[in-house]
Structure formats: C-alpha cells, structure tokens
Structure 1
Amino acid sequence: MTASSHPRSGFRLADLTWVDAADLIGDGLPVVIPIGAASRAHGPHLPLGTDRLVVEVVAERLLASLPVLVAPCIAQGFQPAFMDYPGSQHIEADTFQALVTEIIEGYLRHGAERILLLNNGISTEAPLKLVAQTILQRHGVRIATADLPRLGSTSASADDLDERDTSLLLAIAPALVRLDRLEQMAEDAAEDDEDGFIEGDDEPRLLSLRRPLRFTPEERAGGVLNRTGTTGDATTATAEKGERLLAAVIDEIVADLRQLWPDL
C-alpha cells in the first residue's frame, strides 16, 4: 500500500494500522488536517456540527482525488462570537494554537514533511496563521493552509455566510436542515423590518476600523444582539448551490496543491 500503487487516491489515517501509516508517511504523502467546529451555533435551522460536517466532506473529496493522508478532524476551536448560544463550545486562542501545534509536531516527529491545514472557520484563521509561523520558526517547515470560507465562487462575508452554510448542508446532509424553521426565520425577519428593528443594527459598518464580535441571543454588555444566531439570509440557499460551491472549493484546492507539490 504505497503512493505509487494508489496514484489518484489517498487514505484516512484513522483507518490505517501504525505500520501502514509509517509506510505512507515515509512515501511522502501529505498529511491533511481538517479543522471544523463540531459545536457552534448556526441558527435554529442548522446543526451545531455544521463546520465539521462540511470540512470532513471536503477532506473525503480531496482524498478521492489526490494521494493524501487525511487526519482525524480537530473539532474544537476558537469561536468567541457564538459562545453564548447553548451547545456552542469555545476554547481560548492560546489553547487552540497549542493543540494544533502539538498535533502538527506529532506528524513531523513521525516523518511527515508536507502538511495542509483544511480550515473551515473564520475566527480560527488568525490563530492558525500564528501556528504556521511557530512551526516554521521551530522546525523550518512551511505549513499550507486552505481557509474554506475564502474559497469557491465567492469569498464568504458576514452577509452570505448563512446562505453558504445552508446550501452546503442541503447538498451533503439535507435531513439535518430544519426547513420549517427556515421559513419561520424569514417571517420573523419580515416582522422585524416592519417594526424598524434589524438584528445587530447597533453595530455600524466601518470601512477602516475593526472590533471583535460577540453575538448574543439576549441583551449583554459588549454583545451584539442576534436572537437567531445567524449571519445572513438563508432563504435563498439550495442544494444545487451547495454542490456547485463544493465542486469549486475542491477544484481550487486540488489545483493549488498540484502546483505546490507537482508530484501529486
């Protein structure tokens, strides 16, 4: 079981014995580390595990296209904006960085020379940049990172994140999308507009300044009121949009990896 005998497909590390893992790492297969929260609010219509579900599907499709080793998903992360919603979990930036750094160093210790962080999060982007810099300074290894919200047909903004996530879930796990609540959310938004109230309208759009965000379902000092825990309008989401987005994301990552590592 070597890279040369499987030139177009990869393996899940969790499915291998340590002997097989040693052989494949020794053959130079890149290690792909998915990172996606298994417990973050995405509104009342999407599961807490949306980020993890999406990044694991992306990893599976990469595995089907390239000779890579897909590591188990890191399913906890730095998610301060949604920590007030029940079920959401958040770990501090230092803890998250230490966790990812130690996992990467474990693979380096076993002989891996090429590592890709497959990140499905926005708040995790900044800590992961510091992780990559730490690995470079300590070990002289340049870690590659693919930030999924920045890939595909359009880069995600706060206005379209919910449509994007909902489309992806409709494509990969439609049974987990609460369409009945999606309809209710649209009705509630229309009522809010009629009342002259828009969630989070106390947060001005600043062109040159930036401040941290902490959404809250109830009034809280320093928080931005967001009763549903959504960012954007999900009513226009479709499974077709999700499939097109997934295909575009995979195409971009595969093209870049083959440019970075031409032997793949």
Structure 2
Amino acid sequence: MNTLNSRSSTPRRRGGVRWWVILLFGLYAAWYWFSNQQEAAFTGRAQLIDSSVQEEAALGLQAYREILSQSRVLTQGQAPAQVKQIAERLVAVGPRVEATLAAARNAKPSIAWDAYDWQVSLIQSEQANAFCLPGGKIAVYTGILPIAGNDSALAAIMGHEIAHALLRHSAERMAQNKLVNLGSMAAGVAISDMDTQQQKAVMAVMGAGAQYGVLLPFSRDHESEADEVGLMLAAAACYDPREAIGLWERMGQASAGQAPPEFMSTHPSGSTRIAHLERLMPQALEIRAAFCGK
C-alpha cells in the first residue's frame, strides 16, 4: 500500500513534446493550404484566401466610414479633383490590363469587378500616405502630394494602393495570420509539459520565426506585387511610369534614417523597390504604348 502511494505521489516527468499535436496541426495546415488556394489576378501567383470578395468589401466599407468620420475630408478645389480624376483613369483601365496580362500567361481574367464600389477621398493630414481598402475604398492624405509632385507619380502611388485591393492582399494576410495563430496554439498545447521557462523560450523562438520568416516576407512580397501591378495600371492609364523611380527616390529622402532594416520591415527598402521598378519599366512602357499610342 505504501509502495502504491509513493508511486502515485511521484511528480510527473516534465519536458516532453506532444508530437501528435504537431502532427494533427500539420495535417490540418496542409488541408487548409491546398483547399483554399487560388490564382492571383494579374500575376497568376498562387495565394491562400478563404473569404469572399463581398465579405472583404463589407469590412472595408465599415473601416472606411469610421476613418472618414474621424478625418477632415476635402471636397472642393484642384487637389480633390486631381485625385478623383487619377482614380477614375486607373480604375477604368483595370479590366483591360487584367485581360492583357492574363492572356500573356494563357489564363482567363478572374476579378469580380462588379463587387468593387469605387470611392476616393482626399484627407487633410500631414501623413505621407494613401490606402485602398477591400471593395475599392481609396483615401489619399494631403501630406503625400508634395512628395509625389506630379500626376504620374501620384498615379503610381494610387495604382499601388488599388492593386492591393484587386490582388486581395488583405484577405491573404488574414488567412496567413489564421494559420500562424493556430500554429501558436498547437505549439502551446504540444509543449505544455515543459517547465515555464522552457515554454517561454520555445514560444519566443517560434514567434520570431513566424514574424521574420513568414509574415514580414509575405508582406514585402505583397508590396512588390502591388508595385508591379500599380505601375502597369498607371502606364495603361497614360501616365508616365518612369516617374515612379523619382517618386521612390523622394520617398527615401523624406524618410531618411527612419526606416528599419528591410528584414524587419513590412516594406522593401527604397533601393530594392527602385531596382524592381527599373526591371519592370520596359514592360510598363510597352503597355503604355499599346494603350495610349505613344
């Protein structure tokens, strides 16, 4: 009897990993990944998305209304008219650009253009920023106008933001974050037999791995993809795509010393962006010639 009691009171050995939890998560992640794959518009890249365009648009509209309610929106004068005209020209050429790029890779256009209800607002702010929310809700901050300097550079900025919405990058990031969060939960269960300090160390390493090995590289890839598609939209809308180079040179000067190292950033460095745009420039000029006859 005493022997049984002594055995039952012996502390459970800690430090093991529940590998079956890791295995189950791996199987689920593989199923989730392959069952939610689709081809990205414009580029044909495989992307992970598990929501509809309509669901995204509803979230985008809600966020847009909230932002505008807290902002000073400019409606009169040359600048709002300039921003509106650029947006209209970029959106107007979108379907034809998609069809042109799809044909080049022997694919069919895939964007549900009817799901986008385009709206553009100019917001009074010192921020050098612009965005386009899912569903086609565009905002440009006045702080970026002096850096753009001209219509063609501003078209490159707005084309980039519109491209994010058309490429459904927000939905892709949500799906990626879902997998990362589920992975963190699975890891927490798998190492729950470890002591507290070991758990903290393992989770810290996993968190850093997810951030620098998955989320940030994906974000930089999204930025590069939006640069590419945005440049083609601007060129097809008869803006000069070469102005995008000067734009990013000025953006680099405006943020000199403030940008983090590229591997820690959601965006490529200015030099990486410029090099990428320079490689794309011959194609952009060809599209401009085809669409504009110049």
Q: Which TM-score bucket, shorter chain as reference?
A: under 0.3
TM-score (normalizing by structure 1): 0.27
Report the structure number with the largest CA radius of gyration: 2
Higher helix residue share = 2
